[in-house]
A and B are shown apart, each in its own frame.
Chain A
Amino acid sequence: GNSVTQMEGPVTLSEEAFLTINCTYTATGYPSLFWYVQYPGEGLQLLLKATKADDKGSNKGFEATYRKETTSFHLEKGSVQVSDSAVYFCALSAGQAGTALIFGKGTTLSVSS
């Protein structure tokens, strides 16, 4: 079946460090891929998405490239800030538009000044 695997956290970084959070997926067909972020006490916010192979999603300095050959969608940011501390979820949507998302377990990022 369809699934998403994320690197386990927590990830602890100093401000301005480079961030990578690994995400790989298993899916039939051609899924859309997403990164959501959840700040403490809040719901999920869409961070970025990519809908086909080689697409790059980007937002707020975060980027992720849809790699079909490695079934990956790793999240990167060149210089993290304290305000980026949150839980990051990788997700896929494997069916038609609007099909329910399948999430990874989430990776907690903690950035210190």
Chain B
Amino acid sequence: QSVLTQPPSASGTPGQRVTISCSGRSSNIGSNTVNWYQQLPGTAPRLLIYNSNQRPSGVPDRISGSKSGTSASLAISGLQSEDEADYYCAAWDDSLNGQVFGGGTKLTVL
């Protein structure tokens, strides 16, 4: 059971906009920023969003993040086949004194 809660799966057709939610509590998302990682099959995770809504260089602007209260969301617009991957949210937890991850969401491009 992961500390942060994500839906196990999401899907969309090419060109669509999809969102992935991440729910936590006051000790993690409620008091710290959220980061998102993309993991393509058979590869290491890659940073997608940091500080809840910042994109590292190289991440396209069709990918965005937001946070409100104890929840966060990742949005991908103009869905492409190469977006098919697992997506993980993460945040520092002040009670556990460590990073916590969501269980991951498998995004399928239909």
- Same complex for A and B? Answer no
